[in-house]
Amino acid sequence: MAVWAEQLQRELAGRGLAVASVPGKGRGLVAARGLAVASVPGKGRGLVAARSFFPGEVIICQEPYASTPNRISVGSSCDHCFASGNLRKCSVCRVAWYCGSVCQKEEWKLHQLECQAISALTEERKKMLTPTIRLMVKLILRRKLQSEKAIPSSATDNYDLVDALESHISKVDDNQLVLYAQMANLVQLILPSIELDLKEIAHTFSKFACNAHTICDPELRPLGTGLFPAISIINHSCVPNAVLLFEGRTAYVRALQPLSSNTEVSISYIETAATTLKRHNDLKQYFFTCTCPRCIKDSEEDALLEGYRCKDQKCDGFLLPDSGKKAYTCQKCSISRDEEEVKKVSSEILLLSDKASSFLSSGNNSEAGSVYKTIEQLEQKHYHSFSTTLLHTRETLLKIYMELQDWQTALMYCRLTIPVYERVYPPFHPMVGLQFYTCGKLEWLLEYTEDALKSLTRAADVLRITHGTQSQFMKELFGKLEEARAEVSFRLSSGDEQIS
Ligand SMILES: C[S@@+](CC[C@H](N)C(=O)[O-])C[C@H]1O[C@@H](n2cnc3c(N)ncnc32)[C@H](O)[C@@H]1O
């Protein structure tokens, strides 16, 4: 085994004990890390638990080897910590933004080199600086600084770990290879003083495609991209036992369920509230076909997620297409829907969707809202109540009515999404917790205090597992929960009632 790989194994295995917060027990001594890199049949390397982990426990956390905000030059998030608000632009390159001098100093050794390179570019070339190109530039500069020992490296923070990442280069199609070669040339133009191996850079772009992670805020809004080489060892499952979330630039993987020793840690690379076909399509960039328990199950779940509803509005059965009969038949009551009729409603919805999204993109939320409402009503008659199509329309309506500050309508759509979220996601999924949180905040705003207390409690129960308990985001949630509790006790003691 290579020296760096041995060092990584030692670091992940950990030695001795660490102080950690143990649910229900306050702080306690737990075995540190307790992880191993193993070869997993059919998957390459994988991260395996070498001890048990409890739900919500941090399995591994890591700072990015390289990272970049998604929106370059516009100052949407700090180049170091990904915070937004009160950002200041680097006055020299005018590309990097920082939330303050602490972050600017943290990045300085790296940014000094990047800044010189970017400042030397023509305005035309600067426009070619996409997040992926910038990620590569930062990665190369970091490798240079570490090899010159200008910045430290460690067992979990060194270029060997990047080198060991899967690239799948032999499976990449020719068009993509040409694109990677052009991108490598551009990187060489940006960094003329460093002699680059262009083939290696092209391979590294391919590594980005199947290893880089989207850095999100606690509400899962994408902020940037980062390469976290130790976390990249974790394989995918559509029924994962762990979740990856971020606090600032730091990636945290937490257990979603009790993990026993020797269990492979898995996260989901994709949105899991989707049919098997859609999930497999979304996984194509990673060059494998998922064979997790969910992927090898029958099509019943897919028919629920994407299926049409029964003609009998009182029946909750799902339809499956009949072989060759040009109809869809309810699997519960056997009533059939004619394929032509289904097609007609589908194309009506499609036409309206085009209209609604053009209103949305021109910022006309109120017109978009009323067209989406019509779509939602058609979809209710057309799709099964657990359909993701109907779910996405309701999510869009929720966003629109939040924008329009029509809290009552927003709450109505939020509430309609919750049973579907609970059906399509596992119980401890950030999306479930976040939707309860939105619901709770709307109910609080509308003074449905008891409902707000219930929703915020549900939110906290889920999010303390997925997000931990220490972040500012969670502290705000706990604060709101306390406020709701106090208000409900006050109302109960004063005999007040609410109507929602
Ligand atoms: C982020 S890496 C994970 C670590 C990787 N196994 C390695 O050896 O470095 C993603 C790659 O791992 C493999 N992989 C991840 N999840 C898998 C799964 N469920 N089944 C098969 N291969 C998987 C695929 O080759 C994928 O492109």
Tell me which residue of 177, 180, 92, 76 sits closest to 133, measured CA to CA.
180
Domain ranges of the chain: 3-62+228-274, 70-215, 298-411, 425-500
Residue 263 backbone class (left: φ over 0; alpha: ψ -120 to 50; beta: rest): beta
Give me the residue label for tokens 């426990």.
57
Q: Looking at the predicted structure, is the pLDDT value of residue 31 above 50?
A: no
The yes-or-no answer to whether 3-62+228-274 and 425-500 have a common fold is no
For 179-224, write each residue's pLDDT tens digit: 999 999 999 999 999 999 999 999 999 999 999 999 999 999 999 9
The arithmetic mean of pLDDT across residues 385-395, rounded, is 95
For 443-496, write each residue's pLDDT tens digit: 999 999 999 999 999 999 999 999 999 999 999 999 999 999 999 999 888 876
- Cβ–ligand 1 contact at 42 (below 6 Å): yes
Q: Looking at the predicted structure, is the pLDDT value of residue 18 above 70?
A: no
**Highest mean pLDDT of the ranges 21-30, 120-129, 375-384, 449-458:** 449-458
Question: What does residue 459 show for φ and ψ, rounded to 5 degrees?
Answer: -60, -50
Tell me which residue of 110, 106, 109, 79 sits closest to 94, measured CA to CA.
79
Of 145-159, 164-178, 304-318, the least confident: 304-318
CA of 272 to the centre of ligand 1 (A): 17
- Cβ–ligand 1 contact at 44 (below 6 Å): yes
CATH class of the domain comprising 425-500 = mainly alpha
In Å, how far are 432, 438, 456, 489, 496 from 450, measured between CA atoms?
Answer: 20, 15, 10, 10, 11
Closest atom of ligand 1 to CA, residue 210? 27
Burial of 487 (0-12, 13-18, 19+ CB in 10 A): middle
Which CATH number is 3-62+228-274 given?
2.170.270.10
* ipTM metric: 1.00
| The two structure tokens encoding residue 133 | 């190109």
Tell me which residue of 189, 94, 90 sits closest to 140, measured CA to CA.
189
Residue among 47, 162, 235, 296 whose CB has most ligand 1 atoms within 8 A, to mutate: 235
Tell me which residue of 154, 130, 193 sits closest to 65, measured CA to CA.
154
Tell me the C-alpha distance between 419 and 146, whole Å: 50
For 85-134, write each residue's pLDDT tens digit: 899 999 999 999 999 999 999 999 999 999 999 999 999 999 899 999 99
The confidence score (pLDDT) of residue 496 equals 65
* CB 330, CB 315: distance < 8 Å: yes
Tell me the C-alpha distance between 376 and 485, whole Å: 35
